[in-house]
A = this chain, B = another copy of it.
């Protein structure tokens, strides 16, 4: 799995406070906003549940090497924008996400069976393409473990919602790992916005 931050609002905490000041009729003043003050202000906003102003900041991530299982969960978030590697038109990299539970020290036969099966999958897929079957049909045979790439953009309010849900203890392990990674990067850029969710994770 690879996670890259591709775009983010410049100095997002200051920007959020600048936007918030408009609701209090203070937009005209060009008063300097100090980062520490901005952070205190945002912490208070979040405690009171006033999260709408967080929508003015946004971040775009490039994500590589997650399974189609994980993608299916990710795209269920509807207040976000996605551009996903097309399986209709692109021959996928034939790499797979292997659940850690498959690695049993006392029973290597599971891993062996899975490896052989995935080799078969690739052979079937390539055979279908060689027989003139279009990519968009051949992919029906690919296991859901097949990796994919995407770009995902969301605003900070929605990132908070996604991270809260998907880094929780009952979240599925792959999306949890992905969202923990995303959360760590967002923490570097806007700690006051994400610390209540990401701390101790």
Contact = CB atoms under 8 A, between A and B. Distances in A.
Interface of A: 6-7, 9-10, 15, 18-20, 22-25, 27-28, 52-53, 55-56, 58, 60, 62, 64, 67-69, 71-72, 75-76, 78-79, 81-92, 96-99, 101-102, 104, 107, 110, 113-114, 117, 120-121, 124, 127-128, 131, 133-134, 136-137, 139-146, 149-151, 153, 155, 172
Contacts of A86: 23-25
Contact of A110 (B87, B102, B133): B133
A5 to B, nearest CB: 13
Nearest to A85: B25
Most buried by B among A20, A62, A83, A137: A83
B60 A83 contact: no
A111 to B, nearest CB: 11
B142 A144 contact: yes
Contact of A60 (B56, B85, B144): B56
A87 to B, nearest CB: 8
Contacts of A124: 113-114, 117
Contacts of A22: 62, 83-85, 149-151
A88 to B, nearest CB: 6
Contacts of A99: 133, 137, 140
Contacts of A15: 6-7
A188 to B, nearest CB: 18
A153 B131 CA distance: 39
7 contacts: A19-B83, A23-B83, A28-B64, A97-B140, A101-B137, A104-B131, A113-B127
